[in-house]
Amino acid sequence: MATLARPLGDCCFKTVPHEGEPKGTVEDIGGAPTYVSEPPNMTSTPKRVVLFLADVYGPMYINNKLVQDYFASQGFAVVGLDYFLGDPIYPHFEEEGWDRPKWMEKSKRQAREIFPAWLEGVKQRYGEDAKYAAVGYCFGAPFVLELGATKFTVAGAIAHPAFLDEHHFHNNKSPLMLSCAETDRTFPLDARRRAESMLVAARTKYFFQIFSGIDHGFATRGDPAIADARWAKEESASAMVRWFSRFCEEGPTQSTGRPAKNLG
């Protein structure tokens, strides 16, 4: 089947570091380092868990930690798999002669090998009765659609995705939110429209969110000093909270859905 969200390009490696104090911890789950951010008083029954599948900067990057902490502040337990095993992309940028394609192939293979045991570890930690949702940014998007194909997750969300083919949308069975940039070489307009057509044909619940004047990477790596970029990042995160809450069968009083104002 045809490619819809393309492999990573230069836009996937640009970032502006955000400011804030992370609140989570790093723990071992299923043999893999994991950023864990939980609400202070996890009272929902069953528990609500967000699987955070990061971009190439990994879940330990400050911007991604702050987004995970925001989801936790809204009543979700959040687990961010470090499928790069402490080797995200950004420390390599200044290395002379660094082979980016080789790093990418290694990382894709490694992520696939690590993910099944990690997922089992997450299920052991939170239980079979928890309500699981998944969010994937760029590199992490395929995992969301693949989990949706098994209906393990009650809902999924992706932002400026990469590495998606038509079969991902054809096979997905879980409600899917797509948070998209108007300018995105990895998921351009024609691909977005094809994805929507496939979701309509499959009668899958979906929600598209598209920000004008915004580029790929906005949901985690945009410049907070630019008003439109900051608003898009915050609106993306808060909309995901409402989307997940809807399918976790929580009433509106369980999650504030407050604007995501503390993401750096």
Would you call 18 a catalytic residue per the annotation?
no
Would you call 138 a catalytic residue per the annotation?
yes
Q: How many CA atoms lie within 13 A of 44 on its CB side?
A: 26
Strands 164-165 and 155-159: unpaired
**Gap between the Cα atoms of 35 and 72, Å rounded:** 12
Say if residues 166 and 1 touch (Cβ distance below 8 Å): yes
Catalytic residue among 180, 184, 215, 248: 184
Catalytic residue among 18, 160, 168, 216: 216
Catalytic residue among 138, 160, 215, 248: 138
- For residue 236, the one-letter residue type is S
Beta strands per DSSP E along the chain: 3-5, 25-29, 32-37, 48-53, 77-81, 131-137, 155-159, 164-165, 176-183, 206-215
**Gap between the Cα atoms of 116 and 133, Å rounded:** 16
Would you call 248 a catalytic residue per the annotation?
no
DSSP string, 42-101: ---SS-EEEEEE--TT-TTSHHHHHHHHHHHHTT-EEEEE-TTTT--SGGGTT-TT--HH
Q: Which residues are catalytic?
A: 138, 184, 216
